[in-house]
Amino acid sequence: MTGTTTTATANVDTRELKAKVKAMYRDVALDPAGDFHFEMGRAMAERLGYAPGDLDRVPAEAIASFAGVGYYFDLAALIPGERVLDLGSGSGMDSFIAALHVGPTGEVVGVDMTDEQREKAERLRRRDGFGRVRFVPGYIEDVPCPDGAFDAVVSNGVINLAADKGRVFREAARALRPSGRLALADIVTEVQLPEGVVCNATLWAACIGGAMPQDDYRAAIEAAGFELLEIRDNPAYRFISDSARRASEKFGVKSISLLARKR
Ligand SMILES: C[S@@+](CC[C@H](N)C(=O)[O-])C[C@H]1O[C@@H](n2cnc3c(N)ncnc32)[C@H](O)[C@@H]1O
């Protein structure tokens, strides 16, 4: 988890990156009304496609710190009794929604590396009685779970933040049973980002600098042992700071949702 990772265009100091990402998402947990490059909260969730009826049934504080980038629960098509892994669960909104969909016989595990995000999610989980949800500390590159433990892996706005995306997709495949689904929303680019953007740890933590060209992202998913079933753009997602907007317009940085099945 430390050292330097070579990307197509740049050397990224992954230690600095992790620290920057943790600092940003600590603030997302503790002060969601603060100043961020990206939008958060209920209005955005509804615009992305979340059902108001689902949002009404999960903790409002988790929604306030929702920093996802798209909707994918229609693609995930979770059914009662399923076991779901949420990679980078943040303050827990998607994990709680997954719990609504899989019901009392299902199970949801959220993994996140930022203590303040997990602590907030855990406090809300206890308070609101989400008994079939667990939030565990860990890295999405090295998920603390046995092989084949889940029917579905979900993730929202997280994998772009990982320096080694191939490793994350291989972990997702390992965590899934045969034919298990990967359903996610994430940020990708239309062109390779220049080194100046990739090496900007603040833009990386804002979900821009780490974004991979869409074709490479698809290839990494397929190389990890998945069949890609569906992919779509999420035009309702937008960055809000000037620097993030400029970078996203210039390099075609955009949100996508996708569904893949473990081969
Ligand atoms: C953009 S937020 C999204 C959180 C949540 N999925 C949501 O929709 O609100 C990214 C989250 O991923 C976590 N994260 C980023 N990189 C990670 C990694 N390598 N391992 C574990 N968690 C990571 C951060 O701590 C943060 O909580």
Neighbours of 123 (CB within 10 A): 16
Q: What is the CA radius of gyration of the chain?
A: 17
How many other C-beta atoms can be found within 10 angstroms of the C-beta atom of residue 200? 18
All domains of the chain in start order, with CATH = 4-262 (3.40.50.150)
pLDDT along the chain (263 residues), means of 10: 40 85 96 93 98 98 98 98 98 98 98 98 98 98 97 98 97 98 97 86 85 97 98 94 86 96 98
Residue 139 CA, closest ligand 1 atom number: 20
In this prediction, residue 6 carries a pLDDT of 37
CA atoms of 107 and 88, how far apart (whole Å) = 16
- Give the end-to-end CA distance of the chain in Å, rounded to a whole number: 28
Q: How far is residue 66's CA from residue 61's CA, in Å, rounded to a whole number? A: 9
**Are β-strands 107-112 and 83-87 bridged in parallel, bridged antiparallel, or unpaired?**
parallel
Ligand 1 residue neighbourhood (C-beta within 6 Å):
21, 25, 66-68, 88-90, 93-94, 112-114, 117, 139-141, 156-158, 161-162, 207
CA distance 156 to 185: 5
DSSP for 171-196, please give it: HHHHHEEEEEEEEEEEEEESSPPPHH
Tell me how far the alpha carbon of residue 89 lies from the centroid of ligand 1, in angstroms.
6
Pick the residue whose CA is nearest to atom 27 on ligand 1: 90
Question: Nearest to residue 106, comparing CAs of 87, 86, 90, 91?
Answer: 86
Give me 28's structure tokens.
Answer: 């997302």
pTM: 0.95
